[in-house]
């Protein structure tokens, strides 16, 4: 048994080393001008070359990456035509919104800003007037979806330290 192992082990090691050597050699060929992914992945079961890992961005403590990704998509689909994180577009820059307004207010505002204005909510009336009384559309988003948008806004806003909120 021991003898058999001694014979098999070095032989298989040599085979693996040989395969890797061939791979590296072929890889070298493909590095310029462009790597041929299909051929590279055939190398002795080494699989395709891994994608470079992206640097993690600073996330708010209460948000995970999934929520931020969902919020990113929701923001682009519903809000981005009028809002950016750090600059005024049609509506105000949204960076720091969680520090400016309570979460319940933001939820109510996004679902129906006109209702808050009509009710005479002081902040709502002020910002509505400040932006030429242009009413935001109503959104049929769940509390969770709105929170995901806020997570995304917060995660994006964290990258800019020099943000100053718009003066009302």
Which of the residues 42 through 81 are near ligand HEC (CB under 6 A)? 78-79, 81
Q: Is 131 in the site for ligand HEC (CB under 6 A)?
A: yes
42, 100, 107, 158: which one binds ligand HEC (CB under 6 A): 100
Query: What are the tokens at 17?
Result: 């080393």
Q: Report the alpha-carbon distance of residue 20 to residue 14 in Å, rounded.
A: 10
For ligand HEC, the closer CB: 41 or 81: 81
Answer yes or no: are the C-beta atoms of 104 and 116 closer than 8 Å.
no
- Cα 102 → chain centroid: 24
Binding part of the chain for ligand HEC, among 8-16, 27-35, 62-70, 87-95 by CB under 6 A, reads 87-95
Partners of 88 in beta bridges: 83
The total number of residues shown for the chain amounts to 168
For ligand HEC, the closer CB: 85 or 97: 97
CB of 100 to ligand HEC, least distance (A): 6
109, 116, 147, 148: which one binds ligand HEC (CB under 6 A): 109
Q: Report the alpha-carbon distance of residue 70 to residue 62 in Å, rounded.
A: 15
Q: Torsions phi, psi of 83, nearest 5?
A: -125, 145
For ligand HEC, the closer CB: 43 or 152: 152
What is the CB neighbour count within 10 angstroms for residue 117?
20
**Footprint of ligand HEC on this chain (CB under 6 A)?**
78-79, 81-83, 90-92, 94, 97, 100-101, 106, 109-110, 113, 127-128, 131, 134-137, 139, 149
């Amino acid at each position: 048994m021991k003898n058999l192992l001694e014979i098999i082990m070095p032989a298989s090691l040599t085979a693996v080393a040989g395969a890797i050597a061939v791979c590296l050699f072929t890889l070298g060929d493909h590095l310029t001008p462009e790597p041929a992914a299909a051929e590279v992945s055939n190398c002795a079961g080494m699989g395709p070359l891994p994608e470079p890992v992206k640097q993690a961005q600073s996330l708010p403590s209460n948000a995970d990456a999934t929520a931020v990704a969902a919020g990113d998509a929701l923001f682009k689909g519903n809000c981005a035509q009028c809002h950016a994180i750090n600059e005024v577009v049609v509506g105000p820059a949204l960076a720091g919104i969680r520090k400016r307004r309570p979460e319940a207010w933001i939820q109510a505002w996004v679902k129906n800003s006109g209702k808050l204005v009509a009710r005479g909510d002081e902040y709502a009336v002020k910002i509505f007037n400040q932006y030429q009384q242009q009413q935001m559309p109503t959104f049929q988003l769940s509390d969770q979806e709105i929170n995901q948008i806020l997570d995304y806004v917060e995660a994006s806003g964290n990258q800019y330290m020099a943000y100053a909120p718009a003066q009302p």
